[in-house]
Amino acid sequence: MQSLIDTLHALAGGELSLVVGLLLAAALLLQLLIAVFRSGLRLYAERAQQRATLEKLRLQVQEAKLRCQQAESGKLQWNGCRKFSVVKKSLECEDVCAFYLKPHDGKPLPPFKPGQYLTFQLDIPGRDKPLVRCYSLSDSPHRSDYYRVTIKKEKSPPDQPDLPPGTASSFFTDVVKEGDILNVKAPTGHFFLEMSKTNPLVLIAGGVGVTPLLCMAQAIAASGSRREAWFFFGVRNRQEHIHKAELEKLAAENENLHLHICYSRPGPDDVKGRDYQHEGRVGIERLKEQLPSNNFEYYLCGNGAFMKSITDGLAAWGVPEKDVHFEAFGPATVKKKTAEPTASETVFLSKLQVTFARSGKTLRWEPSAGNLLEFAQAQGVRIDSGCCAGSCGSCLVAIKSGSVDYLKPPDAEPEHGTCLTCICRPRGDLVLDA
Ligand SMILES: Cc1cc2nc3c(=O)[nH]c(=O)nc-3n(C[C@H](O)[C@H](O)[C@H](O)COP(=O)(O)OP(=O)(O)OC[C@H]3O[C@@H](n4cnc5c(N)ncnc54)[C@H](O)[C@@H]3O)c2cc1C
């Protein structure tokens, strides 16, 4: 009221022009503020658009690079075995060594897909034929100067301590030294990360199963991609914490990489927050607790029980099977669902007889065994094995009579009269030279 009286007084006092001036100035200021706000909004939208265009360009460049790499890789691939020198051997932690390998011919190395493995043909003293074993590449695929594998010495089974420890892994950790030369087949394998994709990932590793997943994390970091990756790694304690410093450096330098180390039995000197983030195992509850949703692509590698519990948990959580990828370092306890045999097929299959001629065993085929290699191993018939995916050829056995059906097409057609036991089952009564 007082201000109205004052205004009237001012009008009456002939200060009308001052008031009009003030109102005009206020209107101008308001217009100016609106203009600044609008141009701020436009600038923000333009920046967002620029960022989106840049990201699109970056992806296109990356795709072009990948295509070049693939073409280059094709030229540099080799058939059969190539000689590699062990240029460095380092003890990573208890019973685990990393081996840095350079081609003996000094020529460049083909890039590989993160997650793939090398196949070694090892001449081990006292053995009449080379032993074939596969080991995942554990370093970045962007390195053209060396390959790295990380190998854990496989101990005797806890319930059979009299058995010798793993032959190839003991040979690597106890015998192979810097300067030695090894026979190595080119990188291969179907468990790999598609680098042209940008969807978020969860990498889940148990023990030495960390090797292909570390390679995937390295690949994401080296590509400069902002792809979100959650990395869960379970070990007992610091003594088993493979490539600890390397993983910590990766996480510190890449904010899109969320590292969750789980110690199931931390040692007295292990510090939560420094060495590990969670006490306990990596399990589905841990994933549910840490991940914002289940909407990820999952890559798993670890022992059979570990992978079974996580794949079952993910399925129950509603993760589609197509989004779960895994690699088994031995006979797979997790099996991808295949078309169920019909009732009549099952009856037919369960009547088949498989004879292992050299072992002197004739057994009734068990359809639940899945493949001939697992069937043989479960019956105490020892057949060499390597990749368990039909690629490395170490489980090749001669067929004395009968024939087999392949559960998946072999990478290369095996020689006539032989079969890759890890990916086939009998078609009728079968006699194998094993
Ligand atoms: C694709 C792929 C990638 C892999 N990547 C890696 C990797 O990155 N790092 C890694 O460390 N491993 C990896 N592996 C596992 C590796 O290939 C070997 O399987 C592992 O090193 C064991 O081989 P070995 O020759 O030492 O053991 P083997 O000699 O095959 O023995 C295996 C087990 O059998 C026991 N055994 C010995 N004699 C007998 C007997 N008479 N009867 C029953 N059991 C017996 C041994 O004590 C041992 O526990 C990978 C496997 C695959 C398929």
Report pLDDT digits (tens) over 87-141. 999 999 999 999 999 999 999 899 899 999 999 999 999 888 888 899 999 999 9
Predicted pLDDT at 408: 86
Domain 343-432, CATH class in plain words: alpha beta
Q: Which residues contact 402 (CB under 8 A, 6 or more apart)?
A: 426, 427, 428, 429, 430, 431
Kindly state the percentage of the chain with pLDDT values over 90. Answer: 67
Helices (H), 171-236: 210-223
Backbone dihedral region for residue 179 (phi beyond 0: left; psi -120 to 50: alpha; all else: beta): left
Phi first, then psi, for residue 353 (nearest 5°) are -115, 135
Please name the residue whose Cα sits nearest to atom 45 of ligand 1.
163
End-to-end CA gap in the chain = 108
Please name the residue whose Cα sits nearest to atom 1 of ligand 1.
387
Predicted pLDDT at 165: 95
CATH topology classification for 81-188: Elongation Factor Tu (Ef-tu); domain 3 (2.40.30)
Residue 54 or 162, more confident: 162
Predicted pLDDT at 64: 74
Predicted pLDDT at 368: 84
Instruction: Kindly state the average pLDDT of the residues 146-174.
Output: 95
- Cα 129–Cα 374–Cα 234 angle in degrees, nearest 5: 95
- Residue 101 pairs with which residues in a beta bridge? 86, 147
Instruction: Kindly state the average pLDDT of the residues 377-397.
Output: 86
What pLDDT digit, counting tens, does each position of 278-302 carry?
999 999 999 999 999 999 999 999 9
Q: Is the pLDDT of residue 179 over 80?
A: yes
Would you say the CATH fold of 343-432 matches that of 81-188? no
60 CA to centre of own chain: 24
Distance 166 CA to ligand 1 centre (A): 6
Token readout for 156 is 């005797």
Q: CA–CA separation, 423 vs 414, rounded Å?
A: 12
Predicted pLDDT at 314: 98
Q: CA–CA separation, 134 vs 186, rounded Å?
A: 11
Identify the residues whose C-beta falls under 6 Å from ligand 1.
Answer: 117, 133-136, 149-152, 154, 156-157, 163-169, 189, 208, 211, 327, 329-330, 387-388
Q: CA–CA separation, 34 vs 29, rounded Å?
A: 9
Predicted pLDDT at 71: 67
Residue 261 or 66, more confident: 261
Range 201-328 classified under CATH 3.40.50.720: no
Best residue for ligand 1 mutational test, from 163, 176, 359 (most atoms within 8 Å of Cβ): 163
Q: Which atom of ligand 1 is nearest to the CA of 191?
A: 1
State the pairing for strand pair 201-206/297-302. parallel
Q: Is the pLDDT of residue 430 over 90?
A: yes
Predicted pLDDT at 2: 62
Q: Is the pLDDT of residue 194 over 70?
A: yes
What's the mean pLDDT when you consider all of the chain? 90
Best residue for ligand 1 mutational test, from 121, 123, 133, 327 (most atoms within 8 Å of Cβ): 133
Token readout for 361 is 């065993």
What pLDDT digit, counting tens, does each position of 51-96 carry?
888 877 877 777 777 667 666 666 788 988 999 999 999 999 999 9
Predicted pLDDT at 3: 60
Predicted pLDDT at 338: 54
Distance 347 CA to ligand 1 centre (A): 34
Q: Would you list the domain boundaries of the chain? A: 2-75, 81-188, 201-328, 343-432
Q: Which atom of ligand 1 is nearest to the CA of 171?
A: 26
Predicted pLDDT at 129: 81
State the pairing for strand pair 96-103/147-152. antiparallel
- Residue 151 pairs with which residues in a beta bridge? 97
Q: Which residues contact 60 (CB under 8 A, 6 or more apart)?
A: none
Radius of gyration of the chain from its Cα atoms, rounded to whole angstroms? 31
Token readout for 117 is 């493995």
Distance 382 CA to ligand 1 centre (A): 13
